[in-house]
Amino acid sequence: MTPLPEPLFSILALSLPCGHDFGDEPPIEGWKNGADNAVAAITCSDKSKKFGVLLMRRRKDGVWIVESHSHNIPKLSEARSQAESSLSSDALLDVPPGVSPRPSLFDLQGRSPSEMFKLLTQTSHQGAAWLLNQLYLALPKPDRNWATDCQTENFHTRLWEALLLACFREQGLMVSQPHEAPDFRIENQSGQEGWVEAVTANPPVRIEHVGAKPVGQPSDTNELFLGTAAVRFAKTLGSKLQRRYDTLPHVSGKPFALAIADFHAPSSMVWSREALLGYLYGIVPGTEIVNGIKVATGTDAETLMGDTGFSAGLFRDDSHSELSAVIFSNACTVGKLNRVSVSSGREVKGLRYVRFGKFFDRRENALEGISFCLDVASEEYRQLWPPECEPWSAEMEVFHNPFAKHEFPHMLLPEATHWYENGGEMECSSHYATNILWSQTLILNVNDPLPTYEAIPDYLANLAKTRKTGI
């Protein structure tokens, strides 16, 4: 057997029903066999200080299964010996009778893949391809057409579901898919539960995102918060609300959230978060000078821009109290998969991955983010978060409905950033000290210099003249 680095085991552990929730027996060592189809984690009880061996083995269709979990082993040497014995076999487990084998994600079976899926065949995206496959195999019960959708026109929808699973299980949640809808049932160790339906904001007419010219952020504040993007969010969320998931017997009386990711225009997720805030809370921010200091203010808005007539402020009253919260991330990207892979220690020879954007500035009355440009493989980047690699949940935000009939517990997603009303004021609580407002990821040659944030526009322009640059 060979050592299994902790970041790699953390990825494989997303296949466990409760993900990273190991109770009072956390893993202290990881080992794998030569065929990479069996993994043994040595655990240690916080109470008894005795050891255990958690053995995971792949089925013939690639899905990880917990084959055994022994406890109360008095010595570490004995636990290692048991792990070595368990890993001596390269045998795969049979798919149980009555269970449909998981179709291979990369077997096209004659289908023409989308340009997004084709990206995963490039050397620069091999880490992303491997990670997406692991998340697909970790899904408890994906739709029968999940792999087909991912390969073709619904790539982003399936990517969003995969990333949600990673975020949920990273936070130690029991994740299941017992019904066709909503997509996920989640439950924490305290027994708090909720239902989550995943949805993506898509363009009215399908576009090809690969190679498309990015749509820039609107310069007008009203357009940014109440314009086209806000209207697209309103239509997308409104369509889901009309299905009344809250009236389903298994959902009734439980917290229910919609999880949305934005693909309504090329690269729009870089700036569309503000439009979601405008639609949900009906507030457009501004500034004013108070005692010689520029401070943030807010102006109420009644409707969104355009001729749709959509109201602004989904969470302004109790007309949609069945919706407990909206979950959002601006990092539903192949770049996210690449960054998690690289920051977890997986290298791609000849390439470097650079992330630039703006950190959330927590200083009082701060009106702008703090710019950054960092090498994803650097120690400086890894040290931004306690796991010393990029967390799946780093960009996850939960916007709470103050009029919710069934409140979405904060501890149901403890590592997300939560926005909620307190005494008539909006407040924010974050698990991580570092939060990123927006970012993009560059894939450069390993010998390319690290640009400064200010130099990024010129840097990209110069690179475009000589070769293609991945973003």
Instruction: Say what the pLDDT of residue 287 is.
Output: 63
The predicted-structure confidence for 149-158, as pLDDT tens digits, reads as follows 999 999 999 9
Question: Comparing C-alpha atoms, which of 374, 382, 395, 393 is closest to residue 442?
Answer: 374
Position 404, amino acid: A
The mean pLDDT of 335-357, rounded to a whole number, is 92
Helix, strand or coil for residue 115?
Answer: helix
Please say whether the beta carbons of 12 and 33 come within 8 A: no
Please say whether the beta carbons of 72 and 52 come within 8 A: yes
Residue 329 confidence (pLDDT) above 50: yes
Burial class (CB in 10 A: 0-12, 13-18, 19+), 77: exposed
Helices 126-138 and 334-343, axial angle in degrees (round to 10)? 100
Q: How does residue 361 score in pLDDT terms, banded at 50, 70 and 90? A: confident
Residue 373 confidence (pLDDT) above 70: yes
Instruction: Say what the pLDDT of residue 470 is.
Output: 46
Tell me what percent of the residues of the chain surpass a pLDDT of 70: 95
Average pLDDT along the chain: 92
Question: Comparing C-alpha atoms, which of 69, 59, 134, 135 is closest to residue 97?
Answer: 59
The predicted-structure confidence for 254-306, as pLDDT tens digits, reads as follows 999 999 999 999 999 999 999 999 999 998 887 677 666 666 667 889 999 98
Q: Which helix (H) or strand (E) holds 126?
A: helix 126-138
Residue 174 confidence (pLDDT) above 90: yes
Q: How does residue 468 score in pLDDT terms, banded at 50, 70 and 90? A: very low
Residue-wise burial string across 228-242, b where 16 or more C-beta atoms lie within 10 A, e elsewhere: bbbbbbbebbeebbe
Q: How does residue 44 score in pLDDT terms, banded at 50, 70 and 90? A: very high
Residue 462 confidence (pLDDT) above 90: no
Residue 381 confidence (pLDDT) above 80: yes
Position 425, amino acid: E
Instruction: Say what the pLDDT of residue 469 is.
Output: 42
| Structure tokens given for 416 | 């997300």
Q: How does residue 463 score in pLDDT terms, banded at 50, 70 and 90? A: low
Q: How does residue 78 score in pLDDT terms, banded at 50, 70 and 90? A: very high
Give the separation between CA 160 and CA 261, rounded to whole angstroms: 7
Give the 3-state DSSP-derived string for 238-265, with helices as H, strands as E and coil as C: HHHHCCCHHHCCCCCCCCEEEEEEECCC
Beta strand extents in 341-445 (DSSP E only): 351-359, 370-375, 397-400, 417-422, 425-429, 436-445
Q: Which of 315-319, 364-368, 389-393, 395-399 has the lowest mean pLDDT?
A: 364-368
The predicted-structure confidence for 415-431, as pLDDT tens digits, reads as follows 999 999 988 888 999 99
